[in-house]
Amino acid sequence: MNAITQDVAPTPIPNLNGSSLPALNAWVAEVAALTRPDAVVWCDGSDEENARLIALMQADGTLVPLNEKTHPNSWLHRSHPDDVARVEHLTFVCTSEKEDAGPNNHWMSPADGHDKMDALFDGCMEGRTMYVIPYCMGPIDSPLSRCGVEITDSPYVVANMRIMTRIGAPALERIEREGRFVKGLHSIGELDPNRRFIMHFPEELTIKSYGSGYGGNALLGKKCHALRIASHQARHEGWLAEHMLILGIENPQGEKHYIAAAFPSACGKTNLAMLIPPEGYRKDGWKISTVGDDICWMRPGKDGRLYAINPEAGFFGVAPGTSESSNPNALKSIQSNTIFTNVGVTADNQPWWEGIDNDQEPALDWRGEPYDAAKRPAAHPNARFTVSAKQCPSYSPEAENPEGVPISAIVFGGRRASLVPLVFEARDWTHGVLVGAAMGSETTAAATGQVGVMRRDPMAMKPFCGYNFADYFTHWLSFDRDDVKLPKIFHVNWFRKGSDGKFLWPGFGDNLRVLEWMIGRVDGKANATETPIGYLPSDSDLNLEGVELSDEARRVLFGFDKDGWKSEFDSIGGYLEEYGPRMPQALKDEQRRIAQALY
Active-site positions read: 267
**Does the annotation flag 60 for ligand binding?**
no
* 384 carries a ligand binding annotation: yes
Mutual angle of helices 22-35 and 110-121, in 10-degree steps = 60
As to burial, measured by CB atoms within 10 angstroms (0-12 exposed, 13-18 middle, 19+ buried), residue 328 is: middle
Q: Quote the CA–CA distance of 402 and 392 in Å, as a whole number.
A: 20
Annotated ligand binding at 482? The verdict is: no
470 annotated to a ligand binding site: no
CA 395 to the chain's CA centroid: 17
- Rounded CA separation 112/114 (Å): 6
Burial of 526 (0-12, 13-18, 19+ CB in 10 A): middle
Q: Is 270 annotated as a binding residue?
A: yes
Please write down the HEC assignment for all residues of 17-63.
CCCCCHHHHHHHHHHHHHHCCCEEEECCCCHHHHHHHHHHHHHHCCC
d(CA 477, CA 53): 46
Residue 243, annotated ligand binder?
yes
Q: Is 269 annotated as a binding residue?
A: yes
* 216 is annotated as contributing to ligand binding: yes
Alpha helices (runs of H) in 130-229, residue ranges in sequence order? 155-164, 169-178, 215-218
Q: Is 383 labelled as part of a ligand binding site?
A: yes
Distance of alpha carbon 206 from alpha carbon 121, whole angstroms: 15
HSE (side-chain half, CA atoms, 13 Å) at 515: 30
- Residue 382 annotated as lining a ligand binding site: yes
Does 358 appear as a known binding residue?
no
**Separation between Cα atoms, residue 105 and residue 391, nearest integer Å:** 36
Phi, psi for 509 (deg, rounded to 5):
-60, -30
Please tell me whether 268 is known to bind a ligand.
Answer: yes
The number of beta carbons lying within 10 Å of the beta carbon of residue 496 is: 21
DSSP letter, residue 286: -
496 is in an annotated binding site: no
**How many Cα atoms occupy the beta-carbon half-sphere of 204 within 13 Å?**
18
Q: Is 294 annotated as a binding residue?
A: yes
Do the annotations mark residue 223 as ligand-binding? yes
Judge whether 267 is annotated as a binding position.
yes
Backbone angles phi, psi at 382, to 5 degrees: -110, 25
CA angle 103/108/114 to nearest 5° reads 150
User: According to the annotation, is 224 in a ligand binding site?
Assistant: no
415 belongs to an annotated ligand binding site: yes
- 86 has binding-site annotation: yes
Is 215 marked as a binding-site residue?
yes
Q: Which residues are annotated as a binding site for GTP?
A: 266-271, 384, 415, 508-511
Q: Which residues are annotated as a binding site for Mn(2+)?
A: 223, 243, 294
Q: Which residues are annotated as a binding site?
A: 86, 214-216, 223, 243, 265-271, 294, 382-384, 415, 508-511
Q: Which residues are annotated as a binding site for substrate?
A: 86, 214-216, 265, 382-384
